[in-house]
Structure 1
Amino acid sequence: MNSQDTVLSARNVGMTFNQGTPKAVTAIDDISFEVKRGEVVAIVGPSGCGKTTLFNIISGLLQPTQGSILVNDKPVHDATGHVGYMLQKDLLLPWRTVLENVIIGLQVRNVPRAEADKIARGLIEAYGLKGFENSLPSGLSGGMRQRVAFMRTLAFSPDVILLDEPFSALDSQTRLILQGDMLRIIRERQCSVVLVTHDVGEAITMADRIVVISSRPGRVHAVHDIDIAAEMRHPLKIRKLPLFNALYDQIWGELGIEMAA
């Protein structure tokens, strides 16, 4: 890949709240990384290191006090719909069916209903929920609800997808299944993804690159390129690799040093 493949660029991003006052708090400082087309970059760090602040800056909800975010070489100044944001909770509207939840973003963008339905039905069929189009969220399992939330994020083809602990509320079995499914979907659609997770194993499984953030103020402590063949990226297969265990121990060591500090 070359520089033209870069979708997201964070350049020396910092955020100080109440800047210039005695109550000033620096949440993150001098953070730089890139996400290329089709890449997953995972952000890991201790609680309170500024991951949510960074996500809000990428999405345009916050303006950094230092540095800049570029998406497709254009500076991000506000929330323009350039990102799809998937949170820990699915936040499905309980009175809307699966189909109606998937098309919400398209409706906000005034996509004609027939076109929106076609896009949503294609996603629903491709990713395992055909037959549930008219089901309400209350009739779905936790894993199915997260699939719907991900389809809703994918439907309007955002430039960048932000995944904020998307599996943390699920049981371990469902979490592993969804990691594999979501990674397959990301590869198929060549999505550019920033994943925040406390699960180091999840980061190694899904990411092309892992950025380890220090405790507050959050700074880039280490960056790991994950050179693991695509056929070994299955959540179970990958855990049998010596490289997985070595990376797992190394990253936990880096996090442990920071948390102890």
Structure 2
Amino acid sequence: MRWEGERRSENVEDRRGAGGGGFGLGGRSIGVGAVVLALVGWGVFGINPLTTLQVLSGGGMPQTTQAPAGQPPQDDRQAAFVSTVLASTEDVWSEIFRKGGAQYPAPRLVLFRGATPTACGTGQSAMGPFYCPGDHKVYLDMDFFDTMGRQLGAPGVFARAYVVAHEVGHHVQTVLGTTAKVDGMRGRISEREQNALSVRLELQADCYAGVWAQHSQQAKGWLEQGDIESAVNAAQQIGDDTLQRKSSGVVRPDAFTHGSSAQRVRWFTQGYQSGSVQSCDTFGARTL
């Protein structure tokens, strides 16, 4: 992926030098079992902040007292990469929204280490990357990228871009009202039905990541051989069935919150091949 020299987003907050409070893993390595639990929490955290708030803070909306964060250093290569990917998502989704007669409100990307306050509760590194609808921010501890390559079997620059684009996909869902509709069903349906809705929400975010990938490639021609394959492999490695198999050796489809490896690959690929938001209607699809 030839990303160097492209525009960087200014919507990046670097909190890595600030103490976020709470428990965090910092720079220590994370075991595969912990990663599996983290990714399950990531799904719940990203799409259902009210439930997470009840767990993390006893039900009350936390006060976020984090001091204002600045831009990351210009010579920080990894931060430059995620800033460049975020800028590309801004360009792509702004154009898609413009063609639909609407304006795209770009999210902010927060870089942190260990733990950080959010409008959805205390964000922790162990959760993996996540999106908080309460403040329209994507939260990322970039140590997760090392975990992807070394422990999850998902290396590659574009695999990392896919992760950012997936979280931005959750922001698109929030802007379009999809997340609110799903959250509005919680408490009125069974846990199994809630999980099924979560799967459809996550697969749609995968599809939106694919839509971004196609449009960004059309605009920049920056993808190289093996890039799409690395994103597809990442989608496969973080499928619920693959993670459950690694964790316990037992696959429980009724407990899926993100979708199987095959489903995640399918919907990312569908978004990439079509480049169409309309092709990402996971809620209307009879089969996933």
Asked whether the two chains share a fold, i.e. TM above 0.5, the reply is no
TM-score (structure 2 length as normaliser): 0.24
TM-score where L is the length of structure 1: 0.26
Q: Whose strand proportion is higher, 1 or 2?
A: 1
More helix per residue: 2
